[in-house]
Amino acid sequence: MDVKAENLARVIGARVKHERNARGWTLDRLAEHAGVSRRMVVNVEQGSTNPSVGTLLRLSDALGVGLPALVEPPTPKAAKVTRAGDGAVLWTGEHGGRGVLVAGTEPPDVVELWEWTLAPGDRHESEAHSSGTRELLQVLEGSVTIVADGQVHTLDAGDALTFFGDVDHSYSNPNDVPARFTLCVYEPGVGHAHRSEAGDA
């Protein structure tokens, strides 16, 4: 990991540990609720790994805080500016593409704003998000192929797509020029599934 990635991993690890401790949960309990291994939780909390977006989504949903809150604690400010280049790089493609979380809201209804670049040959596979999740994207440059629930959509610059993100889906660039798109993810009711269980702890 480079320095920026290491710093982000430490921030995420500290946030996960803080939220877990605030609930009085053990490492094993968080691992069980998130559907990941105990070793993965330990590695994330220690900041020694660069977890996948899927793992971060599992952890944030289990903790009921939403993915943006793992990158930066919620702020009481009425407005928050993210300057160009300051977003959280949460995915890096084999060929140089990047998925950058640039803004987000707090739970229970979490909205994430992403900036994606897919280099030629890059592909990002995403497992199904929580029930009711919607995704909206618009291609800014190049061409992107989205597969959602078995349906294939090819979008060119200026085209947009809205689809349910609670199914397995992927974004890919099978072309020989880079592609860039913005992505908005709406995830309603984050944490509701685990609140009653946490209360029974």
Q: Does residue 75 register a pLDDT over 70?
A: no
The whole-number pLDDT of residue 194 equals: 44
State if pTM tops 0.85.
Answer: no
State the average pLDDT over residues 138-161: 97
* Cα 85 from Cα 106, distance rounded (Å): 22
Token duo for residue 96:
């140089």
Considering only residues 90 and 190, tell me which one the structure prediction assigns the higher pLDDT. 90
* Cα 91 from Cα 94, distance rounded (Å): 10
Domains, the chain, with CATH or none? 3-75 (1.10.260.40), 88-187 (2.60.120.10)
Q: What is the mean pLDDT of the chain?
A: 88
Cα 29 to its chain centre, rounded Å, is 22
Q: Does residue 185 register a pLDDT over 70?
A: yes
Residue pair 1/178 in contact by the 8 Å Cβ criterion: no
In sequence order, what are the beta bridge partners of 116? Answer: 99, 181
* Burial label, 134 (beta-carbon count in 10 A; 0-12, 13-18, 19+): middle
Q: Does residue 143 register a pLDDT over 60?
A: yes
Q: Where are the beta strands (DSSP E) in 25-150?
A: 88-92, 98-104, 110-118, 123-126, 134-141, 143-148
Q: What is the rounded (10 degree) CA torsion for 114, 115, 117, 122?
A: 0
Q: Does residue 78 register a pLDDT over 80?
A: no
